[in-house]
Structure 1
């Protein structure tokens, strides 16, 4: 019997090879998909950790250390309790209090801290790093507020029970990387010193331990959470987003496994259908073999073994690594062989095969029922449930079922329409159309192959749309989150200097824009941009952020003259140097009622200064005129103009009363109405207050239902927000303001504290290297850069993109399997078509006409299948979202449900592949 089967296989090599290829491709593709799931999930997890924020990767532990404890033991205990793998770590102490200058004139709230790896994470603007007890380094902004520099002596005072700590300032610093892991745990303002210096206060201090976790730490979410719980049980305060990141990593792995598993299921299902088609056609070819074996008197079971073995043997060789596929194939082949060879000898010898309408109708009803059930489940299930990992139900294989159901209906319409068209064409004398229609209408080939081709086309169209939509959404998100086509990171630099340097490097305002990212911890980030350049660089209309405002009061000269009167008190004019923002103060007085002007020398204004505010000692002051170098800067009319002067903004209470009349500005004392800090300065109005802003959602909402405000450069600034869905860099959570106006409002604001600021330069798409060279020439230190292309590439390595790419690869294999099935149909049906062509040739039909007829008849099912597959894909995408979101978080995706470009490309690909297969078989006769 085995020799008989092998001899038959030699005679029908093509059928055997096709069955072998179908089984092998299905098994190999499914095995590769299963193995790729682990690899792809691991890569996606590593990419997710690499793309995580500093807060998500860091672990911050805080504990109280009393004066009698040994802080080094507490820090060692903290480190020992952190059993997760650590990449970077830093321990230290911190003590809250105030810093006071040696004269006691300036006081600023600031911690006294010690921290490991401090010197490796700062940029020293002046002096050196801490080297001995009693030495300290302070941030640049704090040094300005205290009015001290390197070599100055300051005192840190905590309270009545603690001892004041005297510090020698040996360095002025700025953070090396304000967005890095080290500074993520150093919120607030502080002077940094040694650990013994902090403990010298003999007060209760806070021990701190900050660590960046290794990527491997997020592989075990349960273990990581258990470690965090142990720290909390030890009465330590723990702050970390690591648990959430570990959950996200686990979810990414599940998402990739689910997506690849779904692709594997589709491959197995389509492979099984392709094997069924090949087995059915092969069984029809073996009807003559069954008849001849029956004439020789062989038992029925041996006849079935001899005929079915011709498909089972290559199937077994191809599916050797998949017992499940072989078992399913065994049932399919046996059933197909039984259906084709169950008749008697006379029936088996007939060329015209018997029609079994009941069996065909039953199969059609089953296909339509499954398609309807799948559609019902999709429509009835919420969108969130479609994406949920709930196993493999009808909703998961809906593309195959719906497309196959449409294929069954489409085939019925195709056959009926083809026969009708053929008869009408014959009556009209159109021989080519008549032959094509009648040929197609008589054959059952389309009935068997159209549903399979439609299902493969649908799967490919859905995968292509999901991948294209996700890729587009990721590119758009990268552009929004980055802000511009290219972003340059800049070493810490004063805001006014950054603004002046960028404007000097790009005087046309079309290629570069100064940006500073700031904001209070835990609140929406504030992105301060040079709004007049926002449209050219970032493609966002910034007109509303930079409305007209009174011109700044600027002058050039070092000699100032003031005509004023007072009660023996002094008056200070607060100034900002043009282009650098460096602060200067012109002090006049003591003021009296005499007519003589008062003078002051300000060397820092030789290249120009801007008047920011005036401040007087207690008492009453009358201001009439301020001049520089003999030229009037502020005349009496401007002093008396209420539109040019304002008192404090939201974070302080006004400590003065203002009267403006008769060309005189009179400033007097006023009792504050609240317990907020008192601000006795009168500010020049050269920026709109409230400050216009673009804000997402409730980013600028006030918790007290008062004027909306935001922390900008360490000061609370009232806002006039306009709601928007997304803002550059902030995405769905951010506030966009004008950098120039924000800097003017906050420059000398009372109550402002040093803030974490990240200066950047955004470049437009067409900006060249010349602009970067100009920026460096203007004095900016560029420390790094990022582009939309790089950000998109990072997003493409995350789980949603990996899952979509896996779906697309699986759809390609499904298309290949369907094409092989189409090849089988065309090859097996070749004998009948050859006989028909020979008969028509004997009747005088030209060869050229016959080839044209054959091509039309062969392409018609392909065209119908592709159209039906695309229609099913459109229907499914309208009814249900993609099974995998474009992003792991809740980022809004504004993509259309149907991606026309991807749909057309998928349709063309299916048409080319299927058309090439059937045309090749026609052309080879």
Structure 2
């Protein structure tokens, strides 16, 4: 019997090879999906961890300690309590809460001693603290206290603690404000030594922050166990790592389930393809069964002889896969049963029935199969419409909805086949009555060959699976690109080292005078959401985003270019200080007006003219504020190099001056009179930070702001306010759906106006981390970064929309969708191989029929046309049916894989028409040419009598 089977396989090599290929591709895809699952899970988890913020990977431990006279020993004992915490990096420190005092000015602030501080800070002035009693401060904190490097101050921890004398030895800025090291160091603080923190004698707080390695998130339970163990030791523990670990676990689960669905779809498509191939091969082997029956062989030997011709290549193609993954033996067993079922009718038929060219119909069997397929398709539609959308990240069961694409397409293919056969028969008869020979032959041929077009459901199912996967992948790819554009802000982003905001603005404008390729940006925090300050004059040109204008009419800045200032004033002797903004730095001009003796009880003043050297203003400066340490003083005129900068009318204009917008108490009293401005100090009864400056108004009030999200704005006299770089700024809000970098929640303001309102930054804001960037447009020249460096910027890193999109493409949702697309292509390959089986089986009879017609006078072009279009009809019918099923499926339910694991909005159309068209082009390109140019049509058309 084996020899007979081998001889038959040699005679029918094409059918044997096709069955072997079907089995190998189906089982190989299943094995590949299983093998790739573990690798893809690991890659997706690694990408998720790499994309996480530093705070999401940090475990923080706090404990109250008494440092005493040996702070290092106490900190070491605290560190010994923290065991078993895996750490990629860690920071140990101590904190002490109190108040910094300069004379009567009090500012709540912490004393902090943190390991590695000097290596993670940039000293703008002075040096790092080396001895006890030395501290460093951010520039804005020093400004609020009114002190400079070298000045003394005190630290007061309250009742029962010692007042500690301090000395300011430096001003610093974080080297990487948004890096991991600074993620837990928010708030106002003075950085110093451990000995200084121990001097007040009160209870301090020991701190330990650990950046967990990527391997820690492979075991979410271990993170929870570590947190619970530390808390059991009376330690305060906080961490978002458990949430990240849960997300990583959900990503792994999503990839695993997504690959399982791909494997299931491939097995179903392969099973259907094997069933169709086996059925058509069984038709070709009916003559073999008749000859064995004539020789008197029993039915079981007939079954072995015919079914063996399919089972042998099937087993050869699938055995290796079962050896690699034994769990696939069930799928192989089903395939064997399908092949046996296809050959079984031949063992029950008589010899005359087996030798008939046109086989009798079995309407009951066909109708039963079709009803079952239609019922399953209807059940899948009902489940999709009635149940909530599926989500591969959740542990849900596998139901009909998971195979909906196949079931709906199969049902639609069955209906399309019925419609095709009926319509073809009617069209053939109509054409015959009208004398159109070609149309009559094509229609009648299609109508008669009912079994030959059961391939339609297979092609429709494969097309639907591929179209659904292509839609999901295309929609997610577009959503990832849109999100990357919003989160990054521009086509490219360059990260800039800390510097003055106005210096950044001037440098970018100097490097790109055209204003179309680069834009200065400063990003801070306010009202709990990002505050993005951009150069409003360049926003649309660089980003291409049309938003309400951030610019508005405002008084002109008071600017000048000179190295000497002359102030004319009238006073009884006082010090007048002007704050100026030069590119990249702050400039102070001090005018000491002369005093004189006056009669007791009089308030006489004398007019004087005083000069002050400002060499930093040789390239230009802007007047920021004016202050006095005593009063009253009348300001009459300010000249720069002989040119009037501020005349008496401007000094006397109340619309050109304002008090502070920061969270401080104003200690200046201003009175505008004819031709002059009178300033006088006041002493309000408050311990809040004080500000005795009067600021120039050179921005619109309220400030134009574009706001996305439902923000709760503070209000003052019914005017909404936003926290912008430490200042509570009244704003005129314009609501939008999203803003660059902020997304669905954020505040967008003009950088120049924000810098004028908040004052020169000196590199670091007071209340929150601030990131300085330069956004580049898509047409930015390659040498623009070099020009920015030449303008004085230090580029510390960067990002781009393309890089952000690539990062998102490595996360679990994108990986799962790409695997689904690969599964769809495999389904198409299986359908193409099955179509080849059908063509091989049908080739001989169709070629013989066309040859007979040619001998009876049928023209060769007509024969060729009939042969080609009867071969192409299943493809031309099945592909639109599969595409329609894919559209219906996405209209009924969204994709089970969201493009993002978080709640980022995804405004993606349910039907991706471009993906549908691309799928149609691919399927037609794969299936149509072999059908149109099959050998039988050429041979039948070319033969003659």
Other-structure match for 2:599: none
Other-structure match for 2:38: 38
What is the DSSP-based 3-state SS (H/G/I as helix, E as strand, rest coil) of the residue aligned with 1:185?
Answer: coil
Superposed displacement of residue 215, structure 1:
0.3
Other-structure match for 1:651: 663
Q: Mapping of 1:494-513 within 5 angstroms?
A: 494-513=500-519
Superposed displacement of residue 735, structure 1:
1.5
Instruction: Please tell me whether the aligned partners of residues 700 and 708 of structure 1 are also in contact (alpha carbons under 8 angstroms).
Output: no
Q: Do the aligned partners of residues 130 and 729 (structure 1) sit closer, same or farther apart at CA in structure 2, a change above 3 Å counting? A: same
Q: Do the aligned partners of residues 546 and 504 (structure 1) sit closer, same or farther apart at CA in structure 2, a change above 3 Å counting? A: same
Superposed displacement of residue 93, structure 1:
0.8
Instruction: Please tell me whether the aligned partners of residues 61 and 78 of structure 1 are also in contact (alpha carbons under 8 angstroms).
Output: no
Superposed displacement of residue 5, structure 1:
2.8
CA distance in structure 2 between the partners assigned to 1:796 and 1:696 by the alignment: 26
More divergent stretch after superposition (889-898 vs 855-864) = 889-898
Query: Are 2:832 and 1:833 aligned?
Result: no
What is the DSSP-based 3-state SS (H/G/I as helix, E as strand, rest coil) of the residue aligned with 2:382?
Answer: helix
Query: Are 2:315 and 1:316 aligned?
Result: yes
Q: Mapping of 1:9-408 within 5 angstroms?
A: 9-68=9-68, 72-74=73-75, 76-78=77-79, 81=82, 83-100=84-101, 104=103, 108-146=107-145, 148-320=147-319, 321=322, 322-383=328-389, 388-408=394-414
CA distance in structure 2 between the partners assigned to 1:151 and 1:41 by the alignment: 56
CA distance in structure 2 between the partners assigned to 1:776 and 1:738 by the alignment: 23
| 1:771-798 Cα shifts (integer Å, max 9, x gaps) | 2122111111111122211111111111
More divergent stretch after superposition (263-272 vs 642-651) = 642-651
Query: Among 470, 473, 481, which residue is 1:475 paired with?
Result: 481
What is the DSSP-based 3-state SS (H/G/I as helix, E as strand, rest coil) of the residue aligned with 1:731?
Answer: coil
CA distance in structure 2 between the partners assigned to 1:915 and 1:169 by the alignment: 81
Instruction: Please tell me whether the aligned partners of residues 571 and 588 of structure 1 are also in contact (alpha carbons under 8 angstroms).
Output: yes
More divergent stretch after superposition (399-408 vs 361-370) = 361-370
CA distance in structure 2 between the partners assigned to 1:240 and 1:369 by the alignment: 52
Superposed displacement of residue 108, structure 1:
4.2
Query: Are 2:649 and 1:637 aligned?
Result: yes
CA distance in structure 2 between the partners assigned to 1:268 and 1:908 by the alignment: 25
CA distance in structure 2 between the partners assigned to 1:76 and 1:427 by the alignment: 103
What is the DSSP-based 3-state SS (H/G/I as helix, E as strand, rest coil) of the residue aligned with 2:181?
Answer: helix
Superposed displacement of residue 842, structure 1:
1.8
Superposed displacement of residue 389, structure 1:
3.9
What is the DSSP-based 3-state SS (H/G/I as helix, E as strand, rest coil) of the residue aligned with 2:695?
Answer: strand
Q: Do the aligned partners of residues 82 and 434 (structure 1) sit closer, same or farther apart at CA in structure 2, a change above 3 Å counting? A: farther
Superposed displacement of residue 293, structure 1:
2.1
Q: Do the aligned partners of residues 708 and 780 (structure 1) sit closer, same or farther apart at CA in structure 2, a change above 3 Å counting? A: same
Superposed displacement of residue 6, structure 1:
2.9
CA distance in structure 2 between the partners assigned to 1:236 and 1:716 by the alignment: 37
More divergent stretch after superposition (8-17 vs 831-840) = 8-17
- Unaligned regions of 5+ residues in structure 1, if any? none
Query: Are 2:542 and 1:537 aligned?
Result: yes
| 1:443-499 Cα shifts (integer Å, max 9, x gaps) | 124531011101100111111111111112111211111111111111111111111
CA distance in structure 2 between the partners assigned to 1:721 and 1:677 by the alignment: 29
CA distance in structure 1 between the partners assigned to 2:92 and 2:683 by the alignment: 46
CA distance in structure 1 between the partners assigned to 2:717 and 2:356 by the alignment: 90
Superposed displacement of residue 531, structure 1:
1.1
CA distance in structure 2 between the partners assigned to 1:171 and 1:559 by the alignment: 29
Query: Among 721, 729, 751, which residue is 1:717 paired with?
Result: 729
| 1:676-726 Cα shifts (integer Å, max 9, x gaps) | 766554322111233222222124534999654333223333333222222
CA distance in structure 2 between the partners assigned to 1:674 and 1:124 by the alignment: 32
CA distance in structure 2 between the partners assigned to 1:122 and 1:65 by the alignment: 26
| TM-score normalised per structure 1 | 0.94
Superposed displacement of residue 584, structure 1:
1.4
Q: Do the aligned partners of residues 600 and 231 (structure 1) sit closer, same or farther apart at CA in structure 2, a change above 3 Å counting? A: farther
Superposed displacement of residue 502, structure 1:
0.7
Instruction: Please tell me whether the aligned partners of residues 452 and 842 of structure 2 are also in contact (alpha carbons under 8 angstroms).
Output: no
- Equivalenced residue count is 921
Instruction: Please tell me whether the aligned partners of residues 71 and 195 of structure 2 are also in contact (alpha carbons under 8 angstroms).
Output: no
CA distance in structure 2 between the partners assigned to 1:814 and 1:84 by the alignment: 48
Q: Do the aligned partners of residues 834 and 541 (structure 1) sit closer, same or farther apart at CA in structure 2, a change above 3 Å counting? A: closer
What is the DSSP-based 3-state SS (H/G/I as helix, E as strand, rest coil) of the residue aligned with 2:735?
Answer: strand
Other-structure match for 1:682: 694
Other-structure match for 1:577: 581
Instruction: Please tell me whether the aligned partners of residues 709 and 738 of structure 2 are also in contact (alpha carbons under 8 angstroms).
Output: no
Instruction: Please tell me whether the aligned partners of residues 511 and 766 of structure 1 are also in contact (alpha carbons under 8 angstroms).
Output: yes
Other-structure match for 1:601: 612
Q: Do the aligned partners of residues 875 and 22 (structure 1) sit closer, same or farther apart at CA in structure 2, a change above 3 Å counting? A: same
| 1:296-334 Cα shifts (integer Å, max 9, x gaps) | 222223322322222222222222213112210122112
Runs of 4+ in 1 over 6 A off after TM superposition: 668-676, 703-706
CA distance in structure 2 between the partners assigned to 1:83 and 1:695 by the alignment: 45
Query: Are 2:720 and 1:692 aligned?
Result: no
Q: Do the aligned partners of residues 796 and 694 (structure 1) sit closer, same or farther apart at CA in structure 2, a change above 3 Å counting? A: same
Superposed displacement of residue 881, structure 1:
1.0
Other-structure match for 1:815: 828
CA distance in structure 2 between the partners assigned to 1:476 and 1:826 by the alignment: 46
Superposed displacement of residue 385, structure 1:
5.6
Superposed displacement of residue 269, structure 1:
0.2
What is the DSSP-based 3-state SS (H/G/I as helix, E as strand, rest coil) of the residue aligned with 1:179?
Answer: coil
Superposed displacement of residue 391, structure 1:
2.4
Instruction: Please tell me whether the aligned partners of residues 504 and 778 of structure 1 are also in contact (alpha carbons under 8 angstroms).
Output: yes
More divergent stretch after superposition (826-835 vs 807-816) = 826-835
What is the DSSP-based 3-state SS (H/G/I as helix, E as strand, rest coil) of the residue aligned with 2:400?
Answer: coil
| 1:324-346 Cα shifts (integer Å, max 9, x gaps) | 12210122112211235432222
| 1:618-654 Cα shifts (integer Å, max 9, x gaps) | 7655544433444333333323333222334373455
What is the DSSP-based 3-state SS (H/G/I as helix, E as strand, rest coil) of the residue aligned with 2:580?
Answer: strand
Instruction: Please tell me whether the aligned partners of residues 699 and 735 of structure 1 are also in contact (alpha carbons under 8 angstroms).
Output: no
Instruction: Please tell me whether the aligned partners of residues 250 and 394 of structure 2 are also in contact (alpha carbons under 8 angstroms).
Output: no
Q: Mapping of 1:696-775 within 5 angstroms?
A: 696-699=708-711, 701-702=713-714, 707-747=719-759, 753=766, 755-775=768-788
What is the DSSP-based 3-state SS (H/G/I as helix, E as strand, rest coil) of the residue aligned with 2:626?
Answer: strand
More divergent stretch after superposition (194-203 vs 158-167) = 158-167
CA distance in structure 1 between the partners assigned to 2:227 and 2:375 by the alignment: 52
CA distance in structure 1 between the partners assigned to 2:451 and 2:875 by the alignment: 11
Query: Among 428, 450, 459, which residue is 1:453 paired with?
Result: 459
Superposed displacement of residue 664, structure 1:
4.5
Instruction: Please tell me whether the aligned partners of residues 41 and 252 of structure 2 are also in contact (alpha carbons under 8 angstroms).
Output: yes
Query: Among 524, 528, 542, which residue is 2:533 paired with?
Result: 528
Other-structure match for 1:488: 494
Instruction: Please tell me whether the aligned partners of residues 144 and 689 of structure 2 are also in contact (alpha carbons under 8 angstroms).
Output: no
Q: Do the aligned partners of residues 640 and 760 (structure 1) sit closer, same or farther apart at CA in structure 2, a change above 3 Å counting? A: same
Other-structure match for 2:325: none
- Unaligned regions of 5+ residues in structure 2, if any? 323-327, 596-602, 940-945
Query: Among 425, 433, 437, which residue is 2:439 paired with?
Result: 433
| 1:333-380 Cα shifts (integer Å, max 9, x gaps) | 122112354322222221110101122122111111111111111111
What is the DSSP-based 3-state SS (H/G/I as helix, E as strand, rest coil) of the residue aligned with 2:705?
Answer: strand
Instruction: Please tell me whether the aligned partners of residues 18 and 820 of structure 1 are also in contact (alpha carbons under 8 angstroms).
Output: yes
Instruction: Please tell me whether the aligned partners of residues 459 and 875 of structure 2 are also in contact (alpha carbons under 8 angstroms).
Output: yes
CA distance in structure 2 between the partners assigned to 1:227 and 1:493 by the alignment: 41
CA distance in structure 2 between the partners assigned to 1:239 and 1:530 by the alignment: 38
More divergent stretch after superposition (137-146 vs 489-498) = 137-146
